[in-house]
Amino acid sequence: MDTDRQFSSDPETRIADALEAALEALRLASREHAGTELQPERWRWVALGLVSALQAALVAALSGYASARHEDVANPSQSDRVAPIALLLRRARSSEHLNPPERLDLTGAQVRGLEALVAMRNAAVHGLGFQVPENPAALARTAVDVIRHLLLTHPTFDMSGFVLFLSLIDRELTALDAALAVKVPGKPHD
């Protein structure tokens, strides 16, 4: 999902498009992650893939309730465009948009991790002097965990219509999480 891309007003179509976008973005993140050991600068593309997948997962989650509206995922200044990721995250954490257990309940550290990942993505996309942070794998795992929560653990939408996409997304998340776990010192996965 790109904020410059127009999106459907039909929630089912929007969810399907978001899941397809999330899958492709996760594939990008996985491909690029495989080369980060030899080329650390490839973390910029891992961040790009994960932030794109996160944005798509947020769109799917915010579109899943029967009460979901186009405005829930729209950019307030350009209603035919997807809202920026920071706004989508705020909405997904708000009781106005999602109820437990679907609502994101993030710690301050998780929010800062996602913000740092978005900053990595922005530096890569806008050529702002990208630098690899101290522990990019930990930031990436936060995004993987949030995407898993939104799309697989507590989705807001009926999963039965999207079984293929969700199984492929699950496979990508599992493989990427396992690869990232090797690079996160002292943090076994639950």
Tell me how far apart the alpha carbons of residues 156 and 41 are, in angstroms, rounded to a whole number. 36
Question: In this structure, what is the dihedral angle of CA atoms 26, 31, 35, 40, given to the nearest 10 degrees?
Answer: -30
Q: Which residues pair with 81 in a beta bridge?
A: 6
pTM beyond cutoff 0.85: yes
pLDDT of residue 184: 64
pLDDT of residue 185: 58
Query: In 10 A of CB 119, how many CB atoms?
Result: 16
Is residue 73 in some structural domain?
yes
Q: Which residues of the chain have pLDDT under 50?
A: 1-4, 189-190
- The residue segments making up the domain with residue 119 are 11-181
Is residue 39 in some structural domain?
yes
Quickly tell me which residue has 């999963």 as its tokens: 159
Classify 38 as helix, strand or coil: coil
Is residue 81 in some structural domain?
yes
Fill in the DSSP letter of residue 56. H
Is residue 3 in some structural domain?
no
What confidence tens digit (pLDDT) does each residue in 112-165 have?
999 999 999 999 888 877 788 899 999 999 999 999 999 999 999 999 999 999
Is residue 80 in some structural domain?
yes
Quickly tell me which residue has 């890569």 as its tokens: 124
Is residue 2 in some structural domain?
no
Q: Which residues pair with 6 in a beta bridge?
A: 81
Is residue 120 in some structural domain?
yes
Query: In 10 A of CB 131, how many CB atoms?
Result: 11
Residue 65 vs residues 68, 171, 182: alpha-carbon distances, Å = 5, 25, 36
pLDDT of residue 70: 87
pLDDT of residue 89: 97
pLDDT of residue 129: 79
Question: In this structure, what is the dihedral angle of CA atoms 60, 66, 70, 76, given to the nearest 10 degrees?
Answer: -90
- Contact yes or no for 35/42 (Cβ under 8 A): yes
Q: How many domains does the chain have?
A: 1
Is residue 16 in some structural domain?
yes
